[in-house]
Each structure stands twice: as C-alpha cells, then as structure tokens.
Amino acid sequence: MSGIRGKNTRPEIQIRRSLHAAGYRYRLHGKLPGKPDLVFPARKAVLFVNGCFWHGHDCHLFRLPATRPEFWQAKIASNVARDARAIDLLHEGGWRVGTVWECALTGRAKLPFDLVMNRIGASLDSSQTDFVIRGVPGNAEATERAFI
C-alpha cells in the first residue's frame, strides 16, 4: 500500500495535460481544505480527481477487501467523511468544487475522454457551484446521466 500515490496519479496527469493544452491555468495541490488536485484561482474553482477505491465511490471499481474488512470499512468511511468536510469548508470559502471519479476515465464504465474534458471545461466556464463526473456503464444515452 505504501506504493499507492496520492499525488500525480495517471488520471490526474491526463486531465492536467488536456486542460493546459486547452488554455486553462491552475495551481497544483493547493493549500486549501482537502488539498485539491487542481486549483483555478482566477475562476475560484477546485478540481478533485478521486480514486474510486480510496474515496468509497459506489461503482464497479470499488470492492471492500476480504481481509480485515472492519479496518477497511473504517478507513474508507473516514476518507468519505473527510472529503465531505473539505467540500463544505471550500463552499464556505466561496470555492466551486468539481470531482472527477476514476471510473469516468478507466474501467468498463468509462466515458469518452473528450466528453469528460468538455464537461470539465464547460463547468469551469460556468458559474456552477458543484459538478461531479462519474463513469456510466451502458450505451451513449446513459452518458448524459454521468453528470450531476
């Protein structure tokens, strides 16, 4: 487990490169509640790129380990609670919060990368306070439900 990175993960770098190429400028791992992966100070927005396992996302990529289930339930529950507190503190500070889940980028429920990036860009350019992008198994009509 010590080899699991919390920063500069493959999905995060993929999103960073695409956003930079599209002209968006950001700071990395800001000193804000929850340490967001990307901070857009001029837009007063932050973006989290969350791994489904570590943040307890209800999708096909999350499965509780069979060994020491009590430990893992407590660990994941504390991560989820910490995420919720961080998002509340960011909102209180006037920040807009976006979350991109790992399942939107990998696995059988992944969305087309261009669709994910278009949604991120549209959300950053809008005055939307929250946006979440998650993977959706199935056909193209279902992909619109990926965004809340």
Q: What is the pLDDT of residues 21-59, one digit of tens each?
A: 999 999 998 799 999 999 999 999 999 999 888 888 888
Rounded to whole angstroms, what are the CA distances from 87 to 31, 68, 128?
14, 29, 14
pTM of the full structure: 0.86
CB 49 within 8 A of CB 133: no
Per-residue pLDDT at 2? 46
Parse the chain into domains and list their residue ranges: 10-146
Instruction: Give Cα separations from 8 to 15, 24, 29, 116, 129 (angstroms).
Output: 11, 18, 9, 19, 25
Q: What is the CATH number of domain 10-146?
A: 3.40.960.10
- Each of the 148 residues of the chain gets a pLDDT tens digit; together they read 444 556 778 889 999 999 999 999 999 987 999 999 999 999 999 999 998 888 888 888 888 888 999 999 999 999 999 999 999 999 999 999 999 999 999 988 889 999 999 999 999 999 989 999 999 866 444 445 455 5
